[in-house]
């Protein structure tokens, strides 16, 4: 019941948004749907804490601790994004850039996008997960191009073209896993062969050669959607051109939902091939992403692109954490997914607010935010601090956990390279942040207030992030249970 509610809430709102022209109440309805999702996710989490799972619809949907974590992350980030969407659409309609019909299309697509992501993490069947992740691409293409500018359309073309190829590669990998499962002997029978619990259970029977090929294709394919180098080129374009709430959703959860699929497959590959081969692949793409992100962040002049590259960096960190693969590492990865989702959503949403008030996304043209817009500047600055992995925020804890796990399994050298990249990122982003936030107020300018309705949810998200970081409550048992499902 709860599982179906998680899917039904956004789908119903999506359908309803299509029926009526956009108005503010419809927007708030979308926000409530995400609150419902978060609540259901929390309720599901309490039921699967001890390693059990909830199955519905003839075994097509299954929730275990890992799925529950992802549902909660999608719900929380979705709530934030839907909250800000109301304000974004209001401003667009007021400025005459967007008709009410166009706005209701936005409502339909955002909720469909959220539903597809939720389906991806709830599906018990790996092929169904694939279908859902492909559906997220379709739903978000028009959202990326929603502003209709030439750049936005260019970004959405690149996005769908590159991601479609990536996701097709992942499909080929899925086909091969299915093939290996069909030939794994009498243990797996055909209809269930893509069910991931039975796959994990039978993984040691799977054919080595085929699984190696499949693992490489899956890392490449889902890696495209995660935004891992070298298939990351769509990410900065799409994230910088999409409307702020959409960027928040894409960066905050879409990337990690694709990573969720990778985690599930990794558990199968670990069983079939041993940890060495998947680890090698993940370390390669992870380090490559870190290096790419660090080198392109230094000379970045657009703050939305800066945030996009930071997403690539964090996906690289997560990939390294998953490469270590111990329970500690996976728990840290999931905490990082949650913390990164929240802080990146806060950053993108506040950067959308900055863009709409300042009218430019150039770092060089925005100054002294702390003095001119104290509340907004403070939120942006704090979120930046959180993103850079400083205490008390949870990203500090999760990064520490991942590095410890990497050292424990003998990936200390990779952790060292990652730390070096993180230092570069830290220097680049603090320098950019200083440009944006600090500086004297110019003559004739004075501080302006940012409406509380913008600031309150963002502050709440940052507080939550700090609480998770300091107390680990109430997450610790859930993360432990989730880690157990896919860790080595």
Partner 1 sequence: MSRSGYVAMLDLGAGVVLVCAVVTLWRRSLAAIIRVLALQGVALGGVALVLGLRQHDGALVVVSFVVVAEKGAAIPAVLMRVVPRGPTSRELSPLVNVPASLVAAGALTLLAFAVSGPVVALVPTATGRLVPLGLATVLIGVLAMAIRKKAVSQIVGLLLVDNGIALVAFLATGGFPLVVELGASLDVLLVVVVLRVLGSEIRSRYGVLDLDELQELHD
CB of 289 to partner 1, least distance (A): 15
Closer to partner 1 at the Cβ: 294 or 368?
Answer: 294
3-state DSSP assignment of residue 188: coil
Pick the binder of partner 1 from 187, 208, 434, 449 (CB under 8 A): 208
Pick the binder of partner 1 from 21, 59, 148, 364 (CB under 8 A): 148
178 binds partner 1 (CB under 8 A): yes
- Rounded Cα distance between 294 and 255, Å, is 19
CB of 233 to partner 1, least distance (A): 9
161 binds partner 1 (CB under 8 A): yes
31 binds partner 1 (CB under 8 A): no
3-state DSSP assignment of residue 55: strand
CB of 262 to partner 1, least distance (A): 19
- Rounded Cα distance between 218 and 451, Å, is 45
Sheet strands (E) in 269-316:
none
8 Å CB contact between 62 and 53: yes
212 binds partner 1 (CB under 8 A): yes
183 binds partner 1 (CB under 8 A): yes
298 binds partner 1 (CB under 8 A): no
145 binds partner 1 (CB under 8 A): yes
The string over 31-58, giving b where at least 16 C-beta atoms fall within 10 Å of a residue's C-beta and e elsewhere, is bebbbbbbbbbbebbeebeeeebbbbee
236 binds partner 1 (CB under 8 A): yes
Closer to partner 1 at the Cβ: 232 or 373?
Answer: 232
Q: What tokens does 309 get?
A: 């590259």
Applying CB under 8 A, the span of 90-98, 127-135, 246-254, 265-273 interacting with partner 1 comes to 127-135
Applying CB under 8 A, the span of 20-28, 133-141, 382-390, 437-445 interacting with partner 1 comes to 133-141
Long-range interactions of 138-144: CB distance < 8 A, separation 24+: 139/109, 139/112, 139/113, 140/109, 140/113, 140/238, 140/242, 140/246, 140/250, 140/254, 142/105, 142/109, 143/106, 143/109, 143/110, 143/113, 143/242, 143/243, 143/246, 144/238, 144/241, 144/242, 144/246
Pick the binder of partner 1 from 11, 72, 180, 483 (CB under 8 A): 180
Pick the binder of partner 1 from 35, 42, 172, 201 (CB under 8 A): 172
Size of the chain in residues: 488
On the 0-12 / 13-18 / 19+ scale of CB atoms within 10 A, 157 is: middle
Residues that bind partner 1 (CB under 8 A): 125, 127-128, 130-131, 134-135, 137-138, 141-142, 145, 148, 150-151, 153-158, 160-161, 164-165, 168, 171-172, 175-176, 178-180, 182-183, 190-191, 194, 207-210, 212-213, 236-237, 240-241, 296, 300, 305
């Amino acid at each position: 019941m709860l599982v179906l509610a998680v899917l039904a809430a956004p789908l119903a709102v999506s359908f309803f948004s299509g029926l009526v022209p956009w108005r503010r109440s419809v927007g708030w309805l979308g926000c409530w749907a995400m609150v419902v999702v978060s609540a259901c996710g929390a309720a599901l989490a309490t039921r699967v804490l001890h390693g059990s799972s909830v199955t519905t619809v003839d075994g097509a949907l299954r929730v275990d601790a890992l799925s529950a974590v992802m549902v909660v992350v999608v719900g929380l980030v979705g709530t934030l994004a839907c909250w800000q969407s109301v304000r974004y659409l209001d401003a667009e309609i007021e400025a005459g850039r967007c008709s009410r019909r166009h706005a209701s299309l936005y409502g339909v697509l955002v909720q469909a996008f959220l539903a597809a992501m939720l389906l991806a993490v709830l599906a018990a069947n790996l092929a169904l997960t694939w279908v859902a992740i492909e559906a997220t691409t379709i739903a978000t293409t028009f959202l990326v191009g929603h502003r209709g500018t030439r750049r936005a359309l260019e970004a959405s073309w690149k996005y769908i073209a590159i991601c479609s190829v990536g996701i097709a590669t992942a499909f080929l990998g899925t086909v091969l896993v299915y093939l290996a499962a069909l030939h794994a002997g009498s243990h797996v029978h055909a209809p269930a062969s893509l069910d991931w619990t039975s796959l994990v259970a039978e993984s040691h029977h799977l054919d080595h050669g085929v699984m190696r090929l499949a693992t490489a294709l899956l890392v490449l394919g889902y890696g495209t959607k995660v935004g891992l180098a070298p298939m990351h080129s769509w990410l900065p374009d799409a994230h910088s051109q999409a409307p702020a709430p959409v960027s928040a959703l894409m960066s905050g959860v879409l990337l990690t939902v694709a990573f969720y699929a990778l985690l599930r497959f990794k558990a199968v590959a670990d069983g079939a091939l041993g940890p060495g081969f998947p680890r090698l692949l993940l370390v390669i793409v992870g380090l490559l992403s870190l290096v790419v992100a660090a080198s392109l962040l230094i000379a970045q002049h657009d703050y939305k692109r800066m945030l996009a590259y930071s997403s690539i960096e964090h996906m690289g960190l997560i990939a390294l954490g998953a490469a270590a693969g111990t329970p500690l590492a996976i728990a840290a990865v999931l905490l990082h997914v949650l913390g990164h989702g929240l802080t990146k959503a806060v950053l993108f949403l506040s950067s959308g607010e900055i863009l709409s008030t300042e009218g430019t996304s150039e770092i060089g043209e925005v100054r002294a935010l702390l003095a001119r817009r104290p509340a907004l500047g403070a939120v942006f600055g704090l979120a930046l601090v959180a993103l850079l992995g400083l205490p008390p925020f949870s990203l500090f804890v999760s990064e520490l956990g991942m590095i410890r796990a990497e050292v424990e399994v003998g990936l200390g050298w990779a952790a060292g390279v990652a730390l070096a990249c993180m230092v570069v990122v830290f220097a680049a982003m603090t320098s950019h942040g200083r440009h944006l936030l600090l500086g004297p107020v110019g003559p004739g300018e004075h501080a302006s207030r940012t409406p509380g309705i913008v600031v309150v949810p963002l502050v709440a998200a940052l507080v939550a992030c700090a609480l998770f970081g300091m107390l680990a409550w109430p997450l610790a048992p859930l993360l432990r249970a989730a880690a157990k499902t896919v860790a080595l």
